[in-house]
Amino acid sequence: MKVSALALYALLVLLILSLLARFLPVPFGLFTVVSGSMEPSIRPLDIAVVAGRSYSVGDVVVWCTSPFFCVLHRVVEAGDGWVVTKGDANPVPDPKVPDVLVKGKVALVVPREAWLAPAGLYLAYLLVKKRREVARALSGAAALYGPLVAYMLLLLLTSLALAPGSSFSTTLKKPGVYLSRVEAVKAGERCAILIVYYLENVNLFRVLEVRVQGVEARVLEAGSKNLLAEIPEEVEDVALQKGRLNVTVAAQLTRMGRLSGSYTVFVPLREPLVRLENGSLVLENPNCFPLKVNVTWEWAERAGEMWRYEPRTYRLEREGRLRLEPPDKPYVYVTVTYRVWGVEKLVRLRVRG
Partner 1 sequence: MKLELALAALTVAVAVAGLAALVAPVITFSGGAEGWIALAGYKVVYLGEEAESGVLDKVQAVALLAGAALLLQPAVPLLSRRGRSELAAGLAALPLPAAAAVLGLIGVVEREASFVTVSNSSTTAGFTAFPAIYRAEGPARVLALLLLALAIAELALAALLYLRSPRSSELPIEVSNPP
Kindly state the smallest distance separating residue 201's Cβ from partner 1, in Å.
8
Binding mask 289-328 for partner 1 (x = CB under 8 A): ----------------------------------------
- Which residue type, as a one-letter code, is found at position 318? R
3-state DSSP assignment of residue 14: helix
Among 27, 93, 146, 286, binds partner 1 (CB under 8 A): 146
Buried/exposed code over 69-93 (b: 16+ C-beta within 10 A; e: otherwise)? ebbbbbbeebeeeebbbbbeebeee
Question: What distances in angstroms separate CA 313 from CA 90, 149, 239, 320, one per listed residue?
Answer: 66, 101, 20, 15
Among 5, 148, 306, 343, binds partner 1 (CB under 8 A): 148
Nearer to partner 1, 27 or 175 (CB): 175
> Segment 150-189, which members bind partner 1 (CB under 8 A)?
151-152, 154-155, 158-159, 162, 164-169, 171-179
> Segment 236-295, which members bind partner 1 (CB under 8 A)?
249, 253-263
| Gyration radius of the chain's alpha carbons | 40
At CB < 8 A and 24+ separation, what contacts does 263-267 make? 263/179, 263/182, 263/195, 264/182, 265/182, 265/183, 265/184, 265/193, 266/183, 266/184, 267/184, 267/191, 267/239, 267/240, 267/243
Kindly state the smallest distance separating residue 342's Cβ from partner 1, in Å.
27
Please choose, from the candidates 179, 18, 36, 160, the residue with its C-alpha nearest in 3D space to the C-alpha of residue 103.
18
CA distance 16 to 25: 14
Query: CB neighbours (10 Å) of residue 288?
Result: 23
Whether 64 and 159 have beta carbons less than 8 Å apart is answered as no
Residues paired with 207 in a beta bridge: 251
Binding mask 33-52 for partner 1 (x = CB under 8 A): -xxxx------x--------
Residues paired with 75 in a beta bridge: 85
Nearer to partner 1, 163 or 269 (CB): 163
Instruction: Give the interface size with partner 1 as a residue count (CB under 8 A).
Output: 51
Nearer to partner 1, 136 or 275 (CB): 136
Nearer to partner 1, 17 or 208 (CB): 208
Kindly state the smallest distance separating residue 286's Cβ from partner 1, in Å.
31
Residues 6+ apart with CB under 8 A from 76: 57, 84, 85, 86, 93
> Segment 122-141, which members bind partner 1 (CB under 8 A)?
138-141
Nearer to partner 1, 181 or 312 (CB): 181
Nearer to partner 1, 63 or 299 (CB): 63
Residues 6+ apart with CB under 8 A from 61: 50, 55, 72, 73, 74, 75, 83, 85, 102, 103, 104, 105, 106
Kindly state the smallest distance separating residue 100's Cβ from partner 1, in Å.
24
Verify binding: residue 65, partner 1, rule CB under 8 A: no
Nearer to partner 1, 8 or 134 (CB): 134
Residues 6+ apart with CB under 8 A from 326: 279, 280, 281, 297, 299, 332, 334, 351, 352
With contacts defined by CB under 8 A, name the span among 4-12, 30-38, 185-193, 322-330 that binds partner 1: 30-38
3-state DSSP assignment of residue 13: helix
Nearer to partner 1, 112 or 186 (CB): 112
Nearer to partner 1, 108 or 155 (CB): 155
Kindly state the smallest distance separating residue 43's Cβ from partner 1, in Å.
12
Nearer to partner 1, 255 or 312 (CB): 255
Residues of the shown chain interacting with partner 1 in the complex, contacts defined by CB under 8 A = 34-37, 44, 138-141, 143-148, 151-152, 154-155, 158-159, 162, 164-169, 171-179, 197-198, 249, 253-263
